[in-house]
Amino acid sequence: MNNKRFKELFSDRRFYKSTFILAMPIVLQYLIASSINMLDTVMIGKVGEIELASVGIANQYYFLFSLIAMGISSGCSVFIAQLWGKKDKENIRKVLGIGLFSGIIVTFIFTIIALIWPQGIISIFNKDKDVIALGSQYLRIVSISYIFTTITFNFATASRSIEKTVVPMLASLVGLIVNGFLNYVFIFGKFGFPVMGVKGAALATVIARIMECLVLLIHIYVSKSILSGRLRDFRGASKKLTLNVYNIIIPVVLNEACWGLGNVSYAIIYGRIGTQAIAAIQICTTVLNLFMIVTFGLANASVVVVGKEIGAGNEETGKLYARRLCAISIGIGMILSVVLFLSTSFILSIFNVSDVVIRDAKYILYIYALFMPVKVYNALVIVGILRAGGDAKYGVIVQSITLWLIGVPFAFLAAFIFKLPVYMVVLVACSEEIVKVIILIKRFISYKWINNMVEELEVENSI
C-alpha cells in the first residue's frame, strides 16, 4: 500500500470519530440483544442439556422470523438513510409506514403458525420427545412477543438511519435488565414464584420485549422525533415511492431469508447428528453472534454513512467512505479472530454440559476464529456497503449461490454420507465464505453497486 492510499484510508480522524460515535451505540445495542440470547442460553444451560437444546431449537424459528422482519426494516432503513441525506421528512415517515405495515403482516403469519403447530416446528429439527415437548411450550409462549419485536425493529432501524442511535441502545438495555431479572425469578422460582424452567424463560422474554418496545416508542413521541406521527402520517406513499421501497425491501428480505433458511438447514443437519451436537452448536452460535456484533454494528453504520452521501449526490465521497469501512472491517476481523481463539476455554467453562459437548464446542469455536476475518468482511459488504448503494439484489445472488450450492450441500454430505463429527461438518460448511469473499471483492472494486434511489423523488417537506 503506497503512502497516498494509506493517507486516503486512515488520515481522516474526523471521519473515524464520527463513524465511531454513530456505530458505537449500534454495536452496544447488538451486544445487548445478543446478551439477552446469551443470558437465556447460560441460564437454561444450568437446568440441563435437554432444556438447552429445546430452547435453542425453538429460537431457530424466532431466528427465521426475525431475519424476515429485520429484512423489512433494514430495507426501509436503506431508503430512509438516503432520504435523510436529501432532507426529505415526509417520505421518511411514509417509508417507515411501509415497513410497519409489511412487518405486521409477516408477524401475524409467524405467530399463528407458532401458536397452532409448535410441535411440528420443533420436530423438524429434532425427534427427541422431551425436546419437542419443552421446545413447544417455549415457542407457544414466546411467539406472543413477535408483534412487539417487529415494531421495535422498524422504529430502531429508522432511528439509526437518521443518526439517532443512542435511544434504541437504551431501550435494548432496559430489555436486557428486565429479561435477566425475570429469568432468575421465573426459571428458578425465586421471590415466591414456582420453578417454571423453559416456560419461565419464555415469559421473561415476552415481558422484556414489551418493555423494550414501550421505552423506544415513548421516547420517540415525547421528544417529538421526525419519526413520530399520527397514523395518517405513515400512510399515503406514492406508487413510485412504494415500488422503489419494495425494490429494496424484497432483495433484502430474500437475502435475510436465504441466509436464515441456510442457517436453519444447518441446524437441521446438526440436530440430526444428535442432541449433544445441537447443544454444542447452540453454545457456539451464541458466542459467534456476540463476536459478530461489532461487524453488524459497523455494517448498519455504513448504511447511514455511505447511503447518506449517495442520497445527497456525493457519490465520490460515498466511494471513499466505503473503502475506509472495508479497511476497518479487515482489521476488526483479525482482532476478533485472536480474541476468540484465546478466550475459547474460558467461555466454555461457563456452561454446565458434558465433556463431549465441551470438546465439540471448543473445536467449532477454533474454526470460527480461523474464518473470522473473512466472515467480517463479507458481512460488512453484503449488509452494509451493497445495501447503502441500493445494490441489495447482488447480495441475494451471492448469498444464494455460495450457501445453497456450496455450504449446505457440502455440510449434508459431510454429516450423512461421510459421517464426520459435528466440528468437521462446521469446517466444511465454512468453505462457502472463501468463495463469497472473492466474488464480493470484485463487485466492490467495480463500483457498480452505487445507485441513487431518491434522486428523482420530489421532496415533500424538507428537514
Residue 460 domain flag? no
Q: Report the pLDDT averaged over residues 399-427.
A: 93
456 occurs within a structural domain:
no
Confidence of residue 233 (pLDDT cuts 50, 70, 90): confident
Cell for 228?
413520530
Report pLDDT digits (tens) over 63-72. Answer: 788 888 988 9
Question: pLDDT tens for residues 365-383?
Answer: 999 999 999 999 999 999 8
pLDDT average, residue stretch 325-337: 93
C-beta pairs of 3-12 under 8 Å, 24+ apart in sequence = 8/320, 8/323, 9/323, 9/324, 9/327, 10/324, 10/327, 12/324
How is residue 219 written as a grid cell? 421516547
pLDDT grade for 460, boundaries at 50, 70 and 90: low
Structural domain including 218 reads: 3-446
Which pLDDT does position 235 carry in this prediction?
A: 79
Chain-centre distance for alpha carbon 248:
17
Residue 457 has pLDDT above 70, yes or no: no
Counted domains in the chain: 1
Q: Residue 273 falls within a domain, yes or no?
A: yes
Q: In this structure, are residues 117 and 179 in contact, taking their beta carbons and an 8 Å threshold? A: no
Q: Mean pLDDT, to the nearest integer, of 161-165? A: 87
Percent of the chain with pLDDT over 70: 96
In a domain, 234, yes or no: yes
- pLDDT for the residue 325: 93
pLDDT of residue 34: 66
- Could you tell me which residue, 406 or 267, shows the higher pLDDT? 406
User: How much is the pLDDT for 352?
Assistant: 80
Position 2 scores a pLDDT of 63
Give me the chain's average pLDDT, please. 87
Q: Return the number of other C-beta atoms located less than 10 Å from residue 240's C-beta.
A: 11
Q: Average of pLDDT values for 355-367? A: 94
pLDDT computed for residue 459 by the predictor: 52
For residue 459, is it within any domain?
A: no
Other C-beta atoms lying within 10 Å of the C-beta of residue 448? 12
**All residues at 6 or more sequence positions from 364 whose CB lies less than 8 Å from its CB, including other chains:** 280, 281, 284, 422, 423, 426
| 455 occurs within a structural domain | no
Report pLDDT for 444: 94
Amino acid letter at 360? D
Average pLDDT for 156-179: 90
The owner of cell 473445536 is 363
236 domain-assigned: yes
pLDDT in tens, 27-54: 888 778 767 766 777 788 888 878 888 8
Q: Is residue 393 part of a domain?
A: yes
Q: How would residue 409 be classed by pLDDT, with cut points 50, 70 and 90? A: very high
